[in-house]
Amino acid sequence: MANYLITGGAGFIGSHLAETLLKAGHRVRILDNFSTGRRENIKVIQMIAPQNLEIIEGDIRNRKACDQAVSGMDFVFHEAAQVSVPKSVNDPETTQEINIGGTLNILSAGKRAGIKRLVLASSTAIYGDSPNEKDSLKPKKEPLTPNPLSPYALSKLVGEYYCRLFSKVYDLPAVALRYFNVFGPRQDPNSEYAAVIPKFIERLLQDTPPVIYGDGKQSRDFVYVGDVVQANLKACLQTGIEGEVFNIASGRSYTLLQLLEHLKKILRSDQGPVFEPARLGDIRHSKADIRKARKLLGFQPETGFRQGLKTTIKMMKKTKGVR
């Protein structure tokens, strides 16, 4: 049994991490300010092992809250962040305070507490776009020169650099995972931060046209949340990877139009999309090379795209009482 802190543990990925750890018999502490994290997620995981779950309502921008949360912990999963690209474009200052300042607070608290490992949730957004369409379609490899197109992407890149620095300078073992497009149950389709899959499902369940920003030919590497959880656990325990970054994805990509067709077939819907102008800061194509994660973490995605979509749809229907 070990002690784990999950910042942003009331959120989508954080709550799945908490659920898995509690089922394995570990003690879990969650630090969340509930600005985007959902109390409904806490209710779900509390039923597993309430005696092993502690909730601290606090903000990673507050140093005292970070010290309180990290104290006595063995490992930290740092999921808390401002994750909206459009919001980062409109409010870069707050994005910096949360994603850079907050990450530095957690790392510094971890150094003082002597934790064994910190795993940072980073993002594919740090890669940006390649100069031409042909190059942008190639799988992204970790050594690729970053080209952030939004304050959000830049903030995640800075977080990676801080993890590397703390690993080398302060002897705090830290690893960064570059998430590609994570999906699965508990993504809130009504949030401004929500990814495309729950938004599409929500619209199709309501028999209304899904909204596509751009021409729909932009592509994404979608990875199921259960696979992301396993990647985090492996990154937490694997030795000899301090300061490294890893792509966490499926290694396959689908255009938004292809995604919509998959969802329409599963839901037996004939709704077509509504097209809106492309959003500032969005990248055109995203596909991961995951060989490094396979080799050094033993990471292997296990949930197929269509199966992941079916599971997500089933849970969204259950939540809404739809048959």
Instruction: Kindly report the backbone phi and psi dihedral angles of residue 39, in degrees, each rounded to the nearest multiple of 5, phi listed first.
Output: -65, -25
Residue 235 counted as domain residue: yes
pLDDT attached to residue 134 = 76
pLDDT attached to residue 113 = 98
Which residue intervals of the chain are DSSP H helices? 12-23, 39-46, 63-70, 85-90, 92-95, 102-113, 133-136, 151-169, 196-205, 225-237, 256-267, 291-297, 305-320
Residue 168 counted as domain residue: yes
Residue 46 counted as domain residue: yes
pLDDT attached to residue 279 = 84
- Give the 3-state secondary structure of residue 298: coil
The pTM of the full predicted model, rounded to 2 decimals, is 0.95
Q: Which residues contact 90 (CB under 8 A, 6 or more apart)?
A: none
pLDDT attached to residue 191 = 66
With contact defined as beta carbons under 8 Å apart, do 162 and 104 qualify?
A: yes
Dihedral, 290, 295, 297, 303 alpha carbons, nearest 10:
50
pLDDT attached to residue 321 = 63
Residue 265 counted as domain residue: no
Give the long-range contacts of residues 139-147, CB within 8 A, separation 24 or more. Answer: 139/251, 139/287, 139/288, 139/289, 140/247, 140/286, 140/287, 140/288, 140/289, 141/247, 141/289, 141/292, 142/178, 142/245, 142/246, 142/247, 142/289, 142/292
In whole angstroms, give the CA distance from residue 320 to residue 302. Answer: 27
Residue 211 counted as domain residue: no
> Which H or E run includes 55?
strand 53-57
pLDDT tens-place string over residues 130-141: 777 777 789 999
Residue 260 counted as domain residue: no
CATH label of the domain that carries residue 153: 3.40.50.720
pLDDT attached to residue 282 = 82
pLDDT attached to residue 173 = 97
In whole angstroms, give the CA distance from residue 92 to residue 86. Answer: 10
Neighbour order of strands in the sheet with 3-7: 53-57, 27-32, 3-7, 75-78, 117-123, 174-179, 245-248
pLDDT attached to residue 189 = 80
The residues of the chain scoring below 70 in pLDDT are: 191-194, 320-323
pLDDT attached to residue 107 = 98
pLDDT attached to residue 129 = 84
Query: Angle at which helices 225-237 and 12-23 pack, to 10 degrees?
Result: 60
Domain that holds residue 171: 3-184+224-251+287-302
pLDDT tens-place string over residues 172-195: 999 999 999 999 999 988 765 558
pLDDT attached to residue 192 = 55
User: For the chain, how many structural domains are there in total?
Assistant: 1
| Annotated active-site residue in 4, 127, 152, 162 | 152
Residue 277 counted as domain residue: no
In whole angstroms, give the CA distance from residue 271 to residue 266. Answer: 13
Residue 190 counted as domain residue: no
pLDDT attached to residue 225 = 98
Q: How far apart are the first and last CA of the chain?
A: 40
- Specify whether 127 is catalytic: no
pLDDT attached to residue 323 = 58
pLDDT attached to residue 190 = 73
